[in-house]
Amino acid sequence: MEGEEEYRRVLRLLEEHHKFMSRSIPLIASENVVSEAVREAVASDLMSRYAEGWPGERVYAGCKYIDQIELIAIELGKKLLGAEHVDVRPIAGVTANLAAYTAFTEPGDTVISLAIPNGGHITYGKKELGGTAGAVRGLVVENFPFNAEEMNIDADGTRKLVEKLKKEGRKPRVVIFGGSLFLFPHPVKELSDYLKSEGISIMYDGAHVLGLIAGGQFQRPLEEGADVLTGSTHKTLPGPQGGVIASFEKYSERLKAAVFPSNVSNHHLHHVAGKAIAFAEMIAFGKEYAAAVTRNAKALAEGLASRGFKVLGEKNGYTKSHQVVFEAWQYGGGGVVEKLLEEQNIIVNRNLIPGDIKAGRHFKNPGGIRVGVQEVTRLGMGKDEMDEIAEFIYRAVVKGEQVKDKVEELRSRFDTVKYAFESTRKAYEFIKIIQPQS
Ligand SMILES: *Cc1c(COP(=O)(O)O)cnc(C)c1O
């Protein structure tokens, strides 16, 4: 029948992908591996349903179980993030940021955020760059002054920038902390009294570090003065793809309306169930997991630095998050190194780093490689394995050696999901719903 060939092919490719994952060292800083229970939720009938709106105030009938699940997710989210208000409906981190912009800004307002080479995300980008803040919400984006040696926002410089913008009659409406290249906690505490005294709202985009925040291993933005915390639920927080917003009761009505109807109609109910399960896992195992993640990141950074790699953030001990960033321009550039490592089944991503734009490098072959250790930590790896990984990267990148067999051997020793209530299968096992026909 027409279509059947492609149908079979897609099913085969899915299986191939799972095999590839089970032989690789996954080091993409924005990814993770979910538990069997999260996979169960995401594969459930909830993927076919409509709810729209808030639990108890739905637009659609048939939500009696869905409502209970969403309320559990909300309650657990509040506990994990220290929030009075949590919304699990944003279908992505981008959607969560758009909802925060909708609630706290008007088009034409000025905001301050990190430039992309300094760690900013496309959602805070200027209009010229097609960034969500500029091109979608119509915000005028100014960039934080950044100290590349500290690998952090310059707090004094930020105060000066706000004063300058005030003189120009365009006082920022919101200051957006957070980023995609994110090694050290941002100076929220240092700036929050000043920003509040100026009537400037504080947003914190915790997409990357949400699992570390929840596990008590990173700054707690809402306790340091942020008005709203947004994030993704699938990076260091090991849940299904999605977004979340956390804030205070006083902002709850406008934030709720900014999500529905402004930025989602139906939300992804199977992912809400997955979020509830991932949050429960974080309540139970999050402290231990987040501590292991930050320990491993530091160990990997030290392993790379001791082998001669130029690891960013040296002055402050390389990292306090799940990320390690090293210079790759010496080895042909981030794009080249990313490809070379992928051939050895080590999956990392290229990244713009401070100084790249000045040096004429761009995102296709930028100056850096960013790695994250959250996923290998969830597979149970520890400090010794971080040193092994540093050695593999060194041998592949600097010596040009083949390490694929050794990579697969290491991976085969770490093949179940840890920090979960139940783990009965291999981490990347392809679970077939379709029974073989015979
Ligand atoms: C990943 C990321 C996002 C967007 O999240 P998605 O879930 O991919 O939509 C937003 N902000 C930052 C800082 C990110 O790194």
> What's the domain count of the chain?
1
Q: Is 208 in the pocket of ligand 1 (CB under 6 A)?
A: yes
Q: Fill in the amino acid letter for 39.
A: R
Q: Is 105 in the pocket of ligand 1 (CB under 6 A)?
A: no
Residue 340 lies in a domain: no
Residue 254 lies in a domain: yes
Q: What is the number of other CB atoms lying within 10 angstroms of the CB of residue 433?
A: 5
How far is ligand 1, taken at its centre, from the CA of residue 6, in Å?
Answer: 32
Q: Three-state DSSP class for 62?
A: coil
Q: Is 229 in the pocket of ligand 1 (CB under 6 A)?
A: no
Q: Whose CA is nearest to atom 2 of ligand 1?
A: 207
Q: Is 232 in the pocket of ligand 1 (CB under 6 A)?
A: yes
Residue 337 lies in a domain: no
Are the beta carbons of 240 and 92 closer than 8 angstroms? no
What is the model's pLDDT at position 438? Answer: 59
pLDDT tens-digit profile, the chain (438 residues): 999 999 999 999 999 999 999 999 999 999 999 999 999 999 999 999 999 999 999 999 999 999 999 999 999 999 999 999 999 999 999 999 999 999 999 999 999 999 999 999 999 999 999 999 999 999 999 999 999 999 999 999 999 999 999 999 999 999 999 999 999 999 999 999 999 999 999 999 999 999 999 999 999 999 999 999 999 999 999 999 999 999 999 999 999 999 999 999 999 999 999 999 999 999 999 999 999 999 999 999 999 999 999 999 999 999 999 999 999 999 999 999 999 999 999 999 999 999 999 999 999 999 999 999 999 999 999 999 999 999 999 999 999 999 999 999 999 999 999 999 999 999 999 999 998 765
Are the beta carbons of 144 and 177 closer than 8 angstroms? no
Could you tell me the maximum CA-CA distance found in the chain, to the nearest angstrom? 77
pTM of the shown model: 0.97
User: Is the torsion defined by CA of 71, 206, 371, 362 positive or negative?
Assistant: positive
Phi, psi at 242, each rounded to 5° = 165, 180
Residue 220 lies in a domain: yes
How far is ligand 1, taken at its centre, from the CA of residue 231, in Å?
Answer: 7
Residue 208 lies in a domain: yes
CA angle (395, 396, 400) in 5-degree steps: 90
Residue 414 lies in a domain: no
Encoded tokens for 158? 């930020």
Q: Is 179 in the pocket of ligand 1 (CB under 6 A)?
A: yes
| CA of residue 70 relative to chain centroid, distance | 22
For residue 135, the 8-state DSSP code is I
How far is ligand 1, taken at its centre, from the CA of residue 366, in Å?
Answer: 19
Torsion of CA 157, 179, 376, 89, to 10 degrees: 150
Q: Is 30 in the pocket of ligand 1 (CB under 6 A)?
A: yes
How far is ligand 1, taken at its centre, from the CA of residue 78, in Å?
Answer: 20
Element (H, E) at 347: strand 346-347
Residue 393 lies in a domain: no
pLDDT tens digits, one per residue of 20-76: 999 999 999 999 999 999 999 999 999 999 999 999 999 999 999 999 999 999 999
Are the beta carbons of 101 and 134 closer than 8 angstroms? no
Are the beta carbons of 290 and 212 closer than 8 angstroms? yes
Q: Whose CA is nearest to atom 7 of ligand 1?
A: 93
For 143, half-sphere exposure in the C-beta direction (CA atoms, 13 angstrom radius) is 17
How far is ligand 1, taken at its centre, from the CA of residue 93, in Å?
Answer: 5
Q: Is 93 in the pocket of ligand 1 (CB under 6 A)?
A: yes
How far is ligand 1, taken at its centre, from the CA of residue 209, in Å?
Answer: 10
Measured CA to CA, the distance from residue 323 to residue 427 in angstroms comes to 22
How far is ligand 1, taken at its centre, from the CA of residue 5, in Å?
Answer: 35
Element (H, E) at 370: strand 368-372
Q: State which ligand 1 atom lies nearest to the alpha carbon of 180.
A: 15
Q: Whose CA is nearest to atom 6 of ligand 1?
A: 93
DSSP collapsed to 3 states, 93-114 = HHHHHHHHHHHHCCCCCEEEEC
CA angle (424, 426, 428) in 5-degree steps: 130
How far is ligand 1, taken at its centre, from the CA of residue 232, in Å?
Answer: 6
Structural domain range at position 252: 39-280
What is the model's pLDDT at position 435? Answer: 81
Encoded tokens for 355? 């100084």
Are the beta carbons of 179 and 114 closer than 8 angstroms? yes
How far is ligand 1, taken at its centre, from the CA of residue 182, in Å?
Answer: 12
Q: Is the peptide bond before 354 cis (omega within 30 degrees of 0)?
A: no
Q: Is 219 in the pocket of ligand 1 (CB under 6 A)?
A: no
Q: Whose CA is nearest to atom 4 of ligand 1?
A: 93
Q: Is 240 in the pocket of ligand 1 (CB under 6 A)?
A: no
Q: State which ligand 1 atom lies nearest to the alpha carbon of 208.
A: 15
Residue 328 lies in a domain: no
CATH code, 44: 3.40.640.10
